[in-house]
Chain A
Amino acid sequence: MTARAAHVELPPLPVIEPAITADLIVAFIRAQMSQTGFARIVVGLSGGVDSATVAFLATRAVGAENLLAVRMPYRTSSTASEADALKVVQALGCRTALVEITPMVEPLLALMGVSQDSYVLDDAAQVRRGNVMARQRMIVLYDKSVEFDGLVAGTSNKTEALLGYGTQYGDMAAALMPIGDLYKTQLRAVAEHLGVPAEIVAKPPSADLWPGQTDEGELGRTYEDLDRTLFALVDRRWTADRCVAAGLDRDLVEWVAARVARMEYKRQMPPVAKISLRTPGIDHLYPRRRPGSRRAT
């Protein structure tokens, strides 16, 4: 083996063909609907590109009249986010509901002893606030799903899932995951193809859990760098050394690899202590959608 020559070009971003990808996801959503016996979808609409893309895909799959986009701002949420969410609703002509989570979250935080302005105080309080907000939104979505008689479509993407950048039983809770196998950069290509408003595709991604928060600021890396690294490590199964030899920063590669490993627990059902001869999830294995699983209509 000879030493690898210094590369000028970084390892590639994961390229996809957006039209085929969109068709595959629309077919997936339709199948989930018919196999579960539902006709409607509920999605939490933040004004960001992920939920906008899911809303566009869902509209294609089930029609605008069968999509309920729920806007759930908190008192610190940016007004631009709400404006962008409304642009999506307008573009699609889907149903929408506004549910402020502030009056639910504030007393809960107070009871739990989390400071009201903890985002300027300490990290642990900030994590607690963010998780409470994400889980409060989940409660709203699942309640709406009963009222509207729809399935909750998740808005987590592959970059977030691999990095564990999400709240368990919060934004990660869903009945189906239409964009869960799309990296952020791939998702943008699909969003453009679907006609998601350009300013939504272009703006810096943010969980908007506190003012001025951006994903890239919080993660300390750009999505391009993260996706290049994840694509090399995960999809192409490159070693960290090979990634570095190909021009990626060693700190980046090691940080990503460590984070993917540490966050494994968020991507799986919790382990069950094996006692019996047949245990759900271990050797009692069935497809989710099977005879008898479709609800009675």
Chain B
Amino acid sequence: MEVRIALVQLAPRLGELDANLELVTGRLAEATADGADIVVFPELALTGYLLQDLVPDVAIRADDPRLLGIGADARDVMVAVGFVEETPTRRYCNSVALLRGGRLIGLHRKVYLPTYGLFDEGRFTRAGHQIRATEVGDPLHKVGLSVCEDFWHPFLPMLQVQDGALLLINVAAGPARAPGSAAGLAAIAGWHKMQDTYALLGTVAIAFCNRVGNEEGLTFWGGSRLLGPDGSALAEAPLYEEALVMGVLDTDDLRMQRYNLPVVGDERLELVRREVDRIIADRAGIAPHTDQGTDGEREAPPVHAAREPEREVEPA
């Protein structure tokens, strides 16, 4: 069965929610007119990226009618769009909504907020606490949503694959840097390697939608791509320019790829869980230290560490 997936690589206007809603709605109409079943917009498409203290000014609730109105008239089309979410407990999150027919069918809050180098996200937004795949019904069963940096943590997409996702949607705002050679930017090569690997190891389709445009000194590089479950490129957008590209994912390919390479079905989650539990206990200093050769990083020798377990406090 064929699924037509559109990637809308646009340049949101920084801090201008209404203008961006209009922009997104307009491009969505173009994509649906072209027969798209799924339309993906970039990270923070409704707000722009370098918001700093503008965050509370542009934040909306996930049940905001302006958000739910996106694509409400296109009944069977799924729309993924990034925005700043004000949660019911007044946390401000960098979120991606999955919408269909005026309903919110999926929501992912960016779990990994880059706060290093040129990034300062952890200062202005709070991290999400869930990594799930969203039920979307046949033929894709479930979709895994993530935001940019989330993809640099391989457990996240692989958990979503184990949770049943046949398609991973990553929305991004990747700034260009280090134009070292004609082959392109160092950051782009890293993204490509990573996406190709996830598609292959997860036998999963990947829709990556990265924004373009400029904010302050940053230039966002675009280069959105749709990958089939064998890592083949089904659609690729140009660098730096606004574009709407469409690719066709044939779920029969996915079916055969998962038969030929059944690594996802062979995963041993009970082993993973046991070892992850052990590593967590070891790091937190709450494990009985009897085993040898643990690679887990200890912040104090076991004899002292056992005294005071380190816990993270959940924000209110």
Give the interface size bracket for A toward B: 20 to 34
Q: Which residues of A contact B215 (CB under 8 A)?
A: 31, 287, 289
Interface pair A15/B54, CB less than 8 Å apart: no
Task: List A contacts of B182 (CB < 8 A).
Answer: 17, 19-20
Q: How far is the CB of B113 from chain A (nearest CB, A)?
A: 16
Query: Contacts of B14 on A, CB cut-off 8 Å?
Result: 35, 287, 289-291
B179 touches A291 (CB 8 A): no
Q: How many whole Å from B51's CB to the nearest CB in chain A?
A: 7
In contact, B54 and A24 (Cβ under 8 angstroms): no
| Contact code string B199-225 (vs A, CB < 8 Å = 1, else 0) | 000000000000001111101000000
Question: Knowing A285-B53, A286-B53 touch, does A28 contact B180 (C-beta < 8 A)?
Answer: no
Q: A56–B225 Cα gap in the complex (Å)? A: 34
- Is B214 in contact with A31, judged by CB distance below 8 angstroms? yes
Q: How far is the CB of B166 from chain A (nearest CB, A)?
A: 36
Most B CB within 10 A of own CB, among A16, A20, A30, A32: A20
Q: A287 contacts which chain B residues (CB < 8 A)?
A: 14-15, 50-52, 54, 215-216
The interface bits of chain A over 1-43 (1 if a CB of B lies within 8 angstroms of the residue's CB, else 0) are: 0000000000000011101110110011011100100000000
A66 to B5 alpha-carbon distance, docked (Å): 42
The reply on B256 being an interface residue by CB < 8 A is: no
User: Contacts of A284 on B, CB cut-off 8 Å?
Assistant: 53
The smallest beta-carbon distance between B208 and chain A, in angstroms, is 20
B122, CB-defined interface residue at 8 Å: no
The interface residues of chain A lying within 8 Å CB-to-CB of B217 are 28, 181
- Beta-carbon nearest neighbor of B179 in chain A: A20
Which residues on B sit within 8 Å (CB–CB) of A290?
Answer: 14-15, 54
Interface positions, chain B 11-58, Cβ under 8 Å from A, are 14-16, 50-54
Residue of B15, B51, B184, B214 touching A20 (CB-CB under 8 A): B184
Minimum distance in angstroms from A295 CB to a CB of chain B? 16
Q: Does B176 contact A (CB under 8 A)?
A: yes
A162 to B16, CA, bound (A): 35
Query: For residue B180, which residues in chain A have a CB less than 8 angstroms away from its CB?
Result: 15-17
Q: Does B1 contact A (CB under 8 A)?
A: no
Q: B198 at the A/B interface (Cβ < 8 Å)?
A: no
Closest to A30 in B: B214
Please indicate which of the listed interface residues A19, A21, A287, A288 has the most CB atoms of chain B within 10 Å of its own CB.
A287
Subset of 20 A-B contacts with CB under 8 Å: A15-B181, A16-B179, A17-B179, A17-B180, A17-B181, A20-B182, A20-B185, A21-B179, A28-B217, A30-B214, A31-B214, A181-B217, A284-B53, A285-B53, A286-B54, A287-B14, A287-B50, A287-B215, A287-B216, A288-B216
- Give me the interface of A with B, judged by CB distance under 8 Å: 15-17, 19-21, 23-24, 27-28, 30-32, 35, 181, 284-291
